Amino acid sequence: YFMSREIESSIAAKDEERRKLQLAVTKLQALEQQQKQYIGNISHEFKTPLTSIKAYVDLLNMYDDDPKLLSEAKTNIAKETERLYEMVDKVLQLTALEKYDFESQAELLEVSEVLRDICGRMNGKAERFGLTITLEAEPAHIWIDRESFMHIFINLIDNAIKYNVPDGAVNLHSEVHGEQVEITVSDTGIGIPAEARDKIFEPFYTVNRDRARASGGTGLGLSLVRNLVEKQGGSIVLLETEGTGSAFRLSFPLVN
């Protein structure tokens, strides 16, 4: 009645195999669920501007000699079309990421130099909103695709401007920590409520739909940013900020 050691260990191995398989199945199921939800979200998000465009077209068909309606329809159809365009563009970018060959596009970048360039490009927009951008960065070299690096920070700074308050600021800080460079993008804006922290990187998530829509937001920016960062060996977190504003911290491995 005693099991031999061999049988015992072979049973243990089988159990372990079964456990791993079960884990893989669970993961796949979660992935499938996520994908279904993503498609559901896309359809829903596309439907809203389309409904508005359709309503205006129907109205114009009925009252095509009303100049007030005509001008209102023109403005709204243009706005909603632009929004749809932005969304399709971002969805395509997200899809393209899956097959983008980051490895072959990567080059040696000096972080402080590129950040200075990015801030220079965003200064005009910040000024129009009555905001200032500051940058404090020490030299650091990383191996990364320049275009995605720029895209990441342009997106984050763009949000820091969009969700700011008059006379506010956007601050960039970059320093070397061990084998990593840590770059923080912080702002003095409206901040992100605690209950939204976990969802902020999900596609189509917006804290305040009206404010996001008014500033042309799609809720896809941060999910694109996180994808770009993680695909290239980096990480991004939303820091806990005291008082006002938000802060995102990104880390990338240094090249020595």
With binding defined as CB under 6 A, does residue 168 bind ligand ADP? no
Near ligand ADP by CB under 6 A: residue from 122, 133, 137, 192: 192
Which CB sits closer to ligand ADP, 86 or 182? 86
x-or-dash string of contact with ligand ADP, 226-255, rule CB under 6 A: --------------------x---------
Stretch of 18-26, 46-54, 124-132, 157-165 contacting ligand ADP, by CB under 6 A: 157-165
Q: How many Å apart are CA 214 and CA 140, to the nearest integer?
A: 37
59: tokens are 């109205």
Stretch of 7-15, 74-82, 94-102, 217-225 contacting ligand ADP, by CB under 6 A: 217-225
* Residues, the chain: 256
Which CB sits closer to ligand ADP, 189 or 234? 189
Which CB sits closer to ligand ADP, 65 or 210? 210
204 touches 226 (CB < 8 A): no
Compute the 3-state secondary structure of the chain and give helix, strand, coil in percent, each to the nearest 5.
Answer: 60, 15, 25
Near ligand ADP by CB under 6 A: residue from 53, 222, 229, 236: 222
Near ligand ADP by CB under 6 A: residue from 118, 142, 153, 159: 159
Q: How many Å apart are CA 116 and CA 111, to the nearest integer?
A: 9
- Beta strand 169-177 with 132-137 is parallel
DSSP 8-state secondary structure symbol assigned to residue 195: G
Which CB sits closer to ligand ADP, 140 or 188? 188
3-state secondary structure 21-89: HHHHHHHHHHHHHHHHHHHHHHHHHHHHHHHHHHHHHHHHHHCCCCHHHHHHHHHHHHHHHHHHHHHHH
Near ligand ADP by CB under 6 A: residue from 188, 206, 232, 251: 206
Stretch of 37-45, 133-141, 171-179, 186-194 contacting ligand ADP, by CB under 6 A: 186-194
- Please state the φ and ψ torsions of residue 62, each to the nearest 5 degrees: -85, -40
CA dihedral 165, 166, 168, 172 (to 10 degrees): 80
Near ligand ADP by CB under 6 A: residue from 112, 188, 218, 232: 218
Q: Which residues bind ligand ADP (CB under 6 A)?
A: 159-160, 163, 187, 189-192, 200, 205-208, 212, 217-223, 246
